Amino acid sequence: MGSPLSLEFTNSWFESSARSTWDQLIPQLKPKRILEIGSYEGASTCYLIDKLAPQEGQIEIHCIDTWEGGLENQQGGIAPADMSGVEKRFCSNTELALAAKAPAEVKLVRHKDFSYKALARLLDNGKEGFFDFVYIDGSHQAVDVITDAIMSYYLVRKDGILAFDDYNWSEFAGEKRDPLRCPKLAIDSFSNIFFRKVVALKVPLYQVYFRKIA
Ligand SMILES: C[S@@+](CC[C@H](N)C(=O)[O-])C[C@H]1O[C@@H](n2cnc3c(N)ncnc32)[C@H](O)[C@@H]1O
């Protein structure tokens, strides 16, 4: 897939699920400190660089990914991928997006690790309540999504936004659908347990957005 910047993406996940909501949300929120869990080839990261830089003062985008893929990206999964190629495209795409803007105005921090380890390090490094916008689009396994959700709650500031992709994602349909291998159970559990601390925003069903209120 091409773009005016010759960015190279092999899928349209970001275009089909997030872009229309972000076109409305991002100009209102104007986030300066962003955390993304699951970056793949950098489609969502490049969108943020393009829309947010340059702004008054530096913006900071932290990208967490193993670049090893989830279970669905392994051989035999529903979206098998050569993850070393994916990682190379993340690097070249974000370099191009940065070069087209004001590179000095964007601090892009890559955390190549499992999300629970990278998130724990961010908390340990004083980033509690630091982020304006957290986008959770990493592992689709319920155990990982609930871990990402709770740790991200502590990393986002009050009135900041926690966004989840793939609310209705599943590997298989019907009886083969395993609720522990889907994000939905984790997002619903987070929403129920944190109902005094976050408020759900009106959003399309495939994604879910919460504002932290306490
Ligand atoms: C759906 S893709 C992200 C798509 C990207 N946000 C976009 O809009 O193009 C999911 C990514 O999460 C990463 N991932 C899966 N499980 C992970 C985990 N436990 N920790 C960190 N990254 C993980 C995969 O390597 C993959 O690159």
Q: Examine the pLDDT at 1 and tell me if it is beyond 50.
A: no
* pLDDT tens readout for residues 69-111: 998 898 888 888 999 999 999 999 999 999 998 777 899 999 9
Question: Taking all residues of the chain, what is their mean pLDDT, rounded to a whole number?
Answer: 93
Helix, strand, coil in percent for the chain, rounding step 5: 40, 20, 35
Asked whether residue 6 is assigned to any structural domain, the reply reads no
Identify the weakest region by mean pLDDT among 51-55, 59-63, 110-114, 197-201.
Answer: 51-55
Q: Which residue has the CA at smallest separation from atom 25 of ligand 1? A: 69
Whether residue 134 contacts residue 155, with contact meaning beta carbons closer than 8 Å, is answered with yes
CA 69 – ligand 1 centroid, Å: 6
Asked whether residue 8 is assigned to any structural domain, the reply reads no
Whether residue 39 contacts residue 90, with contact meaning beta carbons closer than 8 Å, is answered with yes
Domain that holds residue 117: 13-212
The total of structural domains in the chain comes to 1
Asked whether residue 141 is assigned to any structural domain, the reply reads yes
CA 168 – ligand 1 centroid, Å: 16
Closest to 115 measured CA to CA, from 34, 4, 38, 8: 38
Asked whether residue 2 is assigned to any structural domain, the reply reads no
Asked whether residue 65 is assigned to any structural domain, the reply reads yes
DSSP state of 55: B
CA distance 87 to 152: 23
CA dist 89 → 1, 70, 93, 113, 170 (Å): 12, 17, 6, 17, 26
Whether residue 139 contacts residue 148, with contact meaning beta carbons closer than 8 Å, is answered with yes
